[in-house]
Amino acid sequence: MAHDLVVIGGGPGGYVAAIRAAQLGMNVGIVEKEARLGGTCLRVGCIPSKALLESSHKLEMARHDLGRHGVRVGDVSFDLATMMRRKDDVVATLTRGIDALMAKNGITRHAGAGRLAGAGRVEVTASDGRSTVVESPRIILAVGSRSVVLPGVDVDGHFVGTSTEALSFDAVPGHLVVIGGGYIGLELGSVWRRLGAKVTVLEYADRILAGLDGEIAAEALPLFRKQGLDIRLGAKVKSARAVGTRCVVECEGQEPIECDRVLAATGRRPATEDLGLDSVGIEVDRRGCIPVDGRFRTSAAGVFAIGDCIPGPMLAHKAEEDGVACVEAMHSGWAHVDYDLVPAVVFTHPEIAAVGKTEEQLVAAGAAFKKGVFPFRANGRARTINDTAGKVKVLADAATDRVLGVHIIGPSAGDLIGEAAAAMNFGATAEDIARVCHAHPTLPEALKEAALAVHGQAIHA
Ligand SMILES: Cc1cc2nc3c(=O)[nH]c(=O)nc-3n(C[C@H](O)[C@H](O)[C@H](O)COP(=O)(O)OP(=O)(O)OC[C@H]3O[C@@H](n4cnc5c(N)ncnc54)[C@H](O)[C@@H]3O)c2cc1C
């Protein structure tokens, strides 16, 4: 079968690229090896993790927060099977939605693993082993990423597993050891801690949440510890393995830790193996990423790559932006994704969100900047919802006042960052944000106040 465009991989990068290409009039095929479209994000990433975070947060609120509002709920308990079923239902509904979008846009689904088989050819091998060849002058590689496991960590898919297993434990582990203090480890560690597990987080670095602003990460650390996460910094894991029905984790210079389950959350790498890249002469870089130019073109004519399998932040919305820009570039010759303005969110409680440069990056670049900070404890809305931990921090160019970075830890940070991202995309100054009339009482007023604070003009602090 011949198409104008074939996309290998049905995650947020691939299926969004397919839809945009169909909107632009292309005859599109999409190749996906899993039974369901949606990729890591929908099946075993963003969506199921956020569903469990929400359910476990509601439990936490019922236990520890509602009483402060005068709401009495008596003994609170939970049913893990129902929680998991709800999560699975959310995933199923959304994946069915993608099927409907494929049908609506006339996109042909090819079920099976795709492999480049020379210029303009993709060999698709179905689960029964049968192969067909799909032809197209343009092919997008959107194959995503997979978990990276440290040497010595013996993942068995049950006692010692990755985020995929930790999204579906059938019982609350007595003691869960999380290797890695990044966003996946902290989000899933939070879920299981709220559900009653003792959770130990082992982080090699001297801080959590590498890559995010240091001041914000430093503010998060004691909050997470206070919630009960036993976060150990500078912990170099040498091995982790199942021993009978338990696990043993060995860390340099520490007593071995015995626990019930281990979650290896030490990052992800592009899933670029077995793709037939050599058949068209594409070489990956040392991290396994497929190198591309500004229009997502690989070194092979007619072959493009997007999402987690190319350099850049491994985030679903970044993959989507790549997908749209890649297809629009094929169509119009022009595309642009501003990787400096890709927001990042950690869905712990409080949430953490960021867009733009961190303070460390600005210092390292020798940039002259001003900083405005506003605490949620001085925000009326945060008081009314009894959620006052955290702050908003705005970094602006000292000469032009242009906003260079916004970093938030606090209630609904993941939603608040949208305004900052929009403002920065329009090249806003701190004064521009400060002069916008924000509704009262709302959390976004904290962003306005932090923008005012850049010039020492915050009203409520
Ligand atoms: C636990 C967890 C939580 C996360 N939470 C968030 C979050 O809150 N927000 C966020 O932005 N990001 C989050 N992410 C990251 C996000 O899931 C990824 O950045 C995103 O899915 C990348 O999209 P993609 O389309 O590039 O790749 P993927 O979503 O990985 O999709 C790639 C698809 O390609 C298919 N595929 C691979 N090889 C082949 C082949 N040879 N033939 C056919 N099909 C193939 C795969 O089966 C997969 O469906 C999370 C990830 C994890 C693991």
Q: Say if residue 1's pLDDT is above 90.
A: no
> What is the reported pLDDT for 448?
98
Counting Cβ atoms within 10 Å, is residue 334 exposed (0-12), middle (13-18) or buried (19+)?
exposed
Beta bridge mates, 250: 239
Distance from Cα 44 to the centre of ligand 1, integer Å:
8
Distance from Cα 308 to the centre of ligand 1, integer Å:
7
pLDDT in tens, 300-352: 999 999 999 999 999 999 999 999 999 999 999 998 999 999 999 999 999 99
Please indicate whether residue 117, judged by its CB atom, sits closer than 6 Å to ligand 1: no
> What is the reported pLDDT for 304?
98
Please indicate whether residue 184, judged by its CB atom, sits closer than 6 Å to ligand 1: yes
Distance from Cα 99 to the centre of ligand 1, integer Å:
17
Angstrom distance (rounded) from CA 278 to CA 272:
11
pLDDT in tens, 25-72: 999 999 999 999 999 999 999 999 999 999 999 999 999 999 999 999
Residue 381 token pair: 């809305």
Q: Say if residue 162's pLDDT is above 90.
A: yes
Strand 121-125 versus strand 113-116 pairing type:
antiparallel
Q: Radius of gyration over alpha carbons of the chain, in Å?
A: 23
Which residue is listed with tokens 């900083």? 371
CA distances from 9 to 116, 170, 299, 326 (A): 13, 29, 19, 15
Direct distance between the N- and C-terminal alpha carbons of the chain, in angstroms, rounded to an integer: 65
Residue 211 token pair: 């890559």
Angstrom distance (rounded) from CA 7 to CA 322:
13
Q: Which of 451, 403, 405 is nearest to 429 (CA)?
A: 403
Query: Which of the listed residues 7, 43, 46 should we mutate to test ligand 1's pocket, taking the one with most ligand atoms within 8 A of CB?
Result: 46
Which residue is listed with tokens 């092979």? 300
H/E element holding 174? none
Q: What is the pTM of this model?
A: 0.97
Angstrom distance (rounded) from CA 426 to CA 410:
25
> What is the reported pLDDT for 58?
98
Q: Which atom of ligand 1 is nearest to the CA of 145?
A: 30
336 part of the active site: no
